[in-house]
Structure 1
Amino acid sequence: MRIIKSCTYTVLSLGLASVTQMTMAQDAHHSMSMLAQHESHSSHDSSHQVMQTRIESNKMEHTAEHAEHAEHAEHAEHAEHAKASSIASRADSAQHPVDHKREHGGQIYQATEIDNRWLYNVDGRGSLKTEIESRIGTDKNKLFIKLHTDKAESQDADYAAQLMYSRMISDFWDAQIGARYWVDEHQVTDKEQLDAVVGLHGLAPYFFETDAYLYLGADKQVSFSLETERDLLLTQKLILKPYLNLDVVLSDDSAYAQKTGLSSVWLGLETRYEINKKLMPFIDVAYSYEKGNQHTAWQAETGSEKHWWYGAGLRLKF
């Protein structure tokens, strides 16, 4: 009986051990299966994530490429539009050229100055002098017209008209060329003469407005004249103007020849009051020197003369 119980217990023990081993094996297999499945899911999720990242990257690359193409297209369209606008502008300029001369000194202007002065010397002899100067043109090219009359008291008037083309050669100087026509009623012959003129007009250092001319006429008449003046402002309206006018005879073989050398000098001081820029009365004090004429078949030799002059005048500008 004990043997049977022992055998039974042994059998039960072996069976229980076998069942336990089988259960443990199944649990291990199940755990391995679960681990493998988890790794499989993890691998799948990782692959899915990588795939998603690649898709997003491709989308971004595609978007960037699309934007780049759009930008290139926009630039191309803008360039084409600019080109078309340039062509249209050139065509319009060709049909309607724009003149910028007014902005670069090409405008045409005109100015005229009339100067009348009544002068008397210490001997009581009077003289009326009138000068008219008119200019028209641009900054570079101008036409100068100068008229001069000198009428001594109880005598006929002398006239001179000067026409010159003026060309700017620097910021402050114009070169001039032209002709002078003059009439001297005191002469019996050759009352009317025509001279060629070349000279300079401009602003000398220290703001001296200067006209320097060389005259070439018949009978070897060659002379030089210089006129220079400067404004000194006492106030905005009261102005002093010292001036110097001189003539030099280089040669003269005419019937009424003047002595060569310094022929005449006028040195004066003008004081003017500018009522406005168009109307300017003034008073004048001057000293004059005249060398005289040579002895010829038509005239007797004369000596030099010196005089003080005083008077008043009126200047008009328009």
Structure 2
Amino acid sequence: MSRAAFLGLSPLVLAASLSAQATGVPMDQAMHQGHDMSTMQMPAPVPAPGPVDPHAGHDMQGMEDMPMSEAQSAPASDTAAGQTGATGPSGTDREPGSAPPPPIASDRPADRFYDPAAMATAQAALLGEHGGMTFHKVLFNLAEYQARNGRDGYRWDASAWFGGDINRLAVKSEGEGSFGEPIDHGEVQALWSHAVDPYWNVQGGIRQDFGKGPDRTYAVLGIEGIAPYWFDLGASAYVSTKGDILARIEGDIDQRITQKLILQPRLEANFAAQDIPENGIGSGLSNVELGLRLRYEITREFAPYVGVSWDRKIGDTARMARSAGERASYASLVAGIRFWF
């Protein structure tokens, strides 16, 4: 307190002290004499907090008619079950994640409005019409002119199929010859093809050969499909009506250089279990054909190509060819068209 304020209050304090001594009134009351205290409002006292109700916020409607003894003896787990829904029918807590799954949603929402039996009949009819759809494709993988050292020739390799995704009728044909001469060798196969997985088909049927030598008919069993890295592979075994056994493996792969320019290496090898002199086939590995063709896809369905092909007869087959005055191997420059529809 400043000195001036103290000097200003001193006469008041002195006067209050003299008045209190003269009248016998306490000094603190003497200092408030003349003040109107009736207009002053004192703050209302804050009530002390009462006890907390443990059932505050709980729905006690279901326990109104329960005797007090039963309400007090109700298990805590039953009360918790009404709050959390975490207990099972036995009243014991379930482990997290053990709740039953929700019901499976129907795949036919129309069942909510129409007779489910009628909707099931309609769905079966729809699957019968569209689930069994058939397709077809005809592919000429090779249709080419071969310029050889000597007499030029030709070659074809074609396939076609008709059916669905699982079962199909497959037809294959391949052959070669020289211009101005009968066909050296040709064959046609009619096969039933069954898909055993998304990439492989098992095939069985018959094969008919024609060309030089006597014709032969064979039973066929084989497999074809797409191996890892997109190799098109096939392997077949043949048994003729004369008991001759042949086998063949073949494969190719499309190496895409650009979106339209594609290089296709190709391999075919033929085997025989025994000599077949009338057809010029020796036992063991009879011949191998290697090819390399570069095609340009004007469209996916039509692609001209050029390349090279090398054919080599081996072992007894080569010996039989030389005995007949034929060459055992030859290389060709090829030009052709690959197309499908």
Superposed, 1:63-102 pairs within 5 Å as: 85=112, 88-94=115-121, 97-100=124-127
Tell me how far 1:201 sits from its aligned partner: 0.9
- Is the aligned partner of 1:245 residue 2:268? yes
Which of 123, 127, 130 does residue 153 from structure 2 map onto? 127
Tell me how far 1:295 sits from its aligned partner: 8.4
Superposed, 1:106-185 pairs within 5 Å as: 106-114=132-140, 115-121=142-148, 123-157=149-183, 158-184=185-211
Distance 2:198 2:302 in 1: 29
Counterpart amino acid of residue 181 in structure 1: Q
Tell me how far 1:302 sits from its aligned partner: 7.0
C-alpha change, 1:124 and 1:302, in structure 2 (3 Å) is: closer
Could you say which residue in structure 1 is the equivalent of 2:287? Answer: 264
Distance 2:280 2:146 in 1: 27
1:97 partner SS: helix
Gaps of 5+ in 2: 1-60, 62-108
| Structure with max Cα Rg | 1
Which of 284, 287, 305 does residue 310 from structure 2 map onto? 287
Distance 1:177 1:229 in 2: 21
Tell me how far 1:235 sits from its aligned partner: 0.5
Identity %: 23
Tell me how far 1:85 sits from its aligned partner: 4.7
Which has more helix, going by share of residues? 1
Could you say which residue in structure 2 is the equivalent of 1:227? Answer: 250
C-alpha change, 1:218 and 1:253, in structure 2 (3 Å) is: farther
Tell me how far 1:315 sits from its aligned partner: 1.4
C-alpha change, 1:253 and 1:236, in structure 2 (3 Å) is: closer
Distance 1:211 1:154 in 2: 32
Distance 1:257 1:311 in 2: 25
Distance 2:319 2:250 in 1: 28
Tell me how far 1:155 sits from its aligned partner: 1.1
Tell me how far 1:219 sits from its aligned partner: 3.2
1:228 partner SS: strand
Could you say which residue in structure 1 is the equivalent of 2:47? Answer: none
Structure 1 contact 293–302 (Cα < 8 Å) conserved? no
Which of 219, 230, 250 does residue 207 from structure 1 map onto? 230
Gaps of 5+ in 1: 1-56, 58-81
User: Once structures 1 and 2 are overlaid, which stretch shifts more, 263-272 or 247-256?
Assistant: 247-256
Could you say which residue in structure 2 is the equivalent of 1:312? Answer: 335
Tell me how far 1:316 sits from its aligned partner: 1.5
2:266 partner SS: strand
Distance 1:302 1:226 in 2: 28
Could you say which residue in structure 2 is the equivalent of 1:30? Answer: none
Alpha-carbon RMSD:
3.0
Distance 1:155 1:166 in 2: 35
Tell me how far 1:254 sits from its aligned partner: 5.8
Could you say which residue in structure 2 is the equivalent of 1:41? Answer: none
Tell me how far 1:118 sits from its aligned partner: 0.6
1:206 partner SS: coil
Counterpart amino acid of residue 132 in structure 1: A
Structure 1 contact 129–151 (Cα < 8 Å) conserved? yes
2:270 partner SS: strand
Count the aligned residue pairs: 230
**Alignment TM-score, normalising by the size of structure 2:** 0.61
Counterpart amino acid of residue 108 in structure 1: T
Structure 1 contact 293–301 (Cα < 8 Å) conserved? no
**Alignment TM-score, normalising by the size of structure 1:** 0.65
Structure 1 contact 220–251 (Cα < 8 Å) conserved? no
